[in-house]
Every structure is written in structure tokens, then in C-alpha cells.
Amino acid sequence: MTDNTTRTDLFEPTRMGAIELSNRIVMAPITRSRYAEDGIPNELHATYYAQRASAGLIIAEATNISAQGRGYAATPGIWSEEQTAGWKKVTEAVHAEGGKIVLQLWHVGRFSSVALQPDGQAPVAPSAIKAEGDTYTTEGFVPVSMPRALETGEVPGIIEQYRVAASNAKRAGFDGVEVHSANSYLLDQFLRDSTNQRTDQYGGSIENRARLTLEVTRAVIEIWGSERVGIRLSPVTPDAGNTPPDSNVMALFGYLVPELNSLNLAYLHFVEGATATSRDVPEGVDMDALSGLFAGPYIGNNNYDLDMAIERRAENKIDAVAFGRLFIANPDLVQRLRTGAALTIAPRESYYGGGAKGYTDWPTGNY
């Protein structure tokens, strides 16, 4: 058995805004698609998150802020009273184990199907440009639908959806919220010139394309206070159809990240490289230069192992590391990393769908 605590401060407590973490190891948001159609968390989900409460911070999976924001069956919501009450069971279970948990606020934008939208309507997007790829419905995988462009006058209603969801998350007992502005969903669609061809104040210039992410973040801050709000960005992740990232990633995020500094957020969270794929970045993009523009705590994610996390922490490139897939089959990941115990690799079949199997039945290690 090793004692990795001598090699790094990743196992020591820290603080992100007003959130106290018992260590610098974060559970990344991972959709597990194990919810009923009503999107209400129950005891199963409470058990799953409580098992992982030794993470310094759990970022709960992407959670639909509204029926319109939903793009996949079997994902949770936070727009109704019943969903809010369900999440309360989750936060209480995590807190009982001494953990901290924030909720990732999600609107998929164009990445949805009419089969998932209220009254079979078209999904909404910055512009009427169809995504490539399939989404998951109760009937199985179907191609995503042609979206319609949001009217300028509808944008305040979108911001209101985030505000209501953030307020529900507060009543549900979370320690904060993460604005999901990554992975080609609504806010990311607004950021990128490949998906945003608007001519109003939400399109065109970088300032205009970044406007919705900033307005949503400010609205959520009004509910939570800035020190309990984080944000996730994935500057170079292509969408499902491999639509390239923005034509000028450095200029776009070189504008957005300093703008976030003025908001005094709890943290900035980047997916470094293509989400759950590769840490490679296109020529001319420097992720460390972009994250280095942020003045507050920075969480790095994507294909990390402990050694890489220790090295990047020692170089002061990250304040904390988020692990996604490793938390699936290692509920006690922090303890295993601390002691050098073997890690279990979750098979892909366990990622999405089903019930307790492959979800809450992973053993804790011997150490």
C-alpha cells in the first residue's frame, strides 16, 4: 500500500467560494440515465450519490431546467415540486455522509427530438440549424429534430427557466449550482459561431454570443450568491456531428473567461480537450492559457489519472481535478487514489440506463 498524501495536497481540504471541500478531488457530472419519465430522483439516486460522498465535491449529473430543456429520456429534472423534493433526498443523503453536492443546470437547446418536447414542438436553438446525431427516447435512439430559432423576446423566458431551476435547487438543499455552458448544449450553441447565426444582441460578435451565458450566470447568482455558483465550459469539444468548435476558440474564451472574473464565481471548470475522448486540442489553442485567465479556483477535467493530476497540481495548473468515468465503478475513488489501491474500470454498458446494476452495486476496495 502506498501513501499518496505525501506526494500532493490533492487530498487536503480546500475552499471554492463559500463551499468547503474535504479534498481537491471532484466528481464530474455524469449522466447515468436511470430516471423514470417524470425525472424525479428517488432512494436509488440518493444511495448512488451518498456512496460517492467522499469526493471533495460532487457535481450532480446534468439536470433539465425545464421540459423544453430536455433532450434525452431517463434524465432528471429540477422544474417541478416533485423533482425538487426528490433531489432533497439526494442532498440529505450526501450531507449525512459529510459530502458536498452542487447541481449542474442543463438546457439541451437543439439537441433534442420532437418526441421529447412538450406537445411535440420543435426544440429551440440560437439558429435553425439542425445538429447531427441521435438522441435517446423511450422508443430508442432517434435522430435529433430540426430546431427553431428562439425569438429575441423569448430569451428572458430562457433565463427565467434557469432562475427557477436554481431556486428549486436551493430549496432542494444543494451546496450550489454549476451552469452547464459546455458540450454543445444551449449555452454552448449560443457561444459558437458554427451554431449561432443570429443578428440580434445574442449573435454576431463574441460579446453578443457570450451574452446569454453571462446573463444566465448572473441570474443564477441572484438566487445563490456568486460564491456558490460555478460554470463548466468545453472550449474545444466538437458536437456529436463533429461540428468544429468556434472558428476562433482563443478569442471567444479569451473574452469569456476574464468576463467571468468580474462575477467572483466559486469556480471555473473546463473540459480540457474533447469530452471523454482526447486531450488533444486544435493547433493554436492553449487550454492552460485560457484557464490561467481565471482569477478564482479552477477545476481541470478530462482523461486525468492521479499522476497527471499530481503533476498539474504541482505546476499550479489546476486547483482541483474532476474525475468522471472513474467515479462510476469506484464509489470510494478518493480512498483508492490515496492508498494506491487498484481501480475498477466500468464497462460502457453500465454507463447509461437500467437500475441498481452497474450503478449502486460497485464494491468498495480493499486497502
Ligand X SMILES: Cc1cc2nc3c(=O)[nH]c(=O)nc-3n(C[C@H](O)[C@H](O)[C@H](O)COP(=O)(O)O)c2cc1C
Which residues lie near ligand X (CB under 6 A)? 28-31, 61-62, 104, 180, 182-183, 232, 271, 275-276, 301-304, 323-326, 351
Residue pair 244/237 in contact by the 8 Å Cβ criterion: no
Please report how close the Cβ of residue 280 comes to ligand X at its closest, in angstroms: 14
Between 41 and 203, name the residue whose CB sits nearer to ligand X: 41
Residue pair 100/180 in contact by the 8 Å Cβ criterion: no
Which residue is nearest to ligand X, using beta carbons?
324
Please report how close the Cβ of residue 354 comes to ligand X at its closest, in angstroms: 13
Please report how close the Cβ of residue 348 comes to ligand X at its closest, in angstroms: 8
What torsion do the CA atoms of 23, 25, 28, 33 make, to the nearest 10 degrees? -80
Residue pair 189/125 in contact by the 8 Å Cβ criterion: yes
Between 276 and 329, name the residue whose CB sits nearer to ligand X: 276
- Active site (annotated) includes residue 304: no
Burial class (CB in 10 A: 0-12, 13-18, 19+), 167: middle
Please report how close the Cβ of residue 269 comes to ligand X at its closest, in angstroms: 8
Cβ neighbors of 92 (< 8 A, separation 6 or more) are 46, 173
Between 61 and 203, name the residue whose CB sits nearer to ligand X: 61
Q: Other C-beta atoms within 10 Å of 178: how many?
A: 29
Distance separating the N- and C-terminal Cα atoms of the chain: 7
Please report how close the Cβ of residue 201 comes to ligand X at its closest, in angstroms: 27
Please report how close the Cβ of residue 327 comes to ligand X at its closest, in angstroms: 8
Between 56 and 203, name the residue whose CB sits nearer to ligand X: 56
Between 99 and 324, name the residue whose CB sits nearer to ligand X: 324
Burial class (CB in 10 A: 0-12, 13-18, 19+), 251: exposed
> What's the angle, vertex CA 210, arms to CA 209 and CA 214, rounded to 5?
140
Residue pair 267/299 in contact by the 8 Å Cβ criterion: yes
Q: In the chain, what's the furthest Cα-to-Cα distance? A: 60
User: In degrees rounded to 5, what are phi and psi of residue 136?
Assistant: -100, 125
Q: Which of these is catalytic: 35, 72, 136, 185?
A: 185
SS3 158: helix
Between 95 and 325, name the residue whose CB sits nearer to ligand X: 325
Tell me which residue has cell 450553441. Answer: 189
Whole-angstrom distance, CA of residue 88 vs CA of residue 73: 22
Between 275 and 360, name the residue whose CB sits nearer to ligand X: 275
Please report how close the Cβ of residue 316 comes to ligand X at its closest, in angstroms: 21
Angle, helices 81-96/43-51, rounded to nearest 10 degrees: 30
The residues that are catalytic are 185
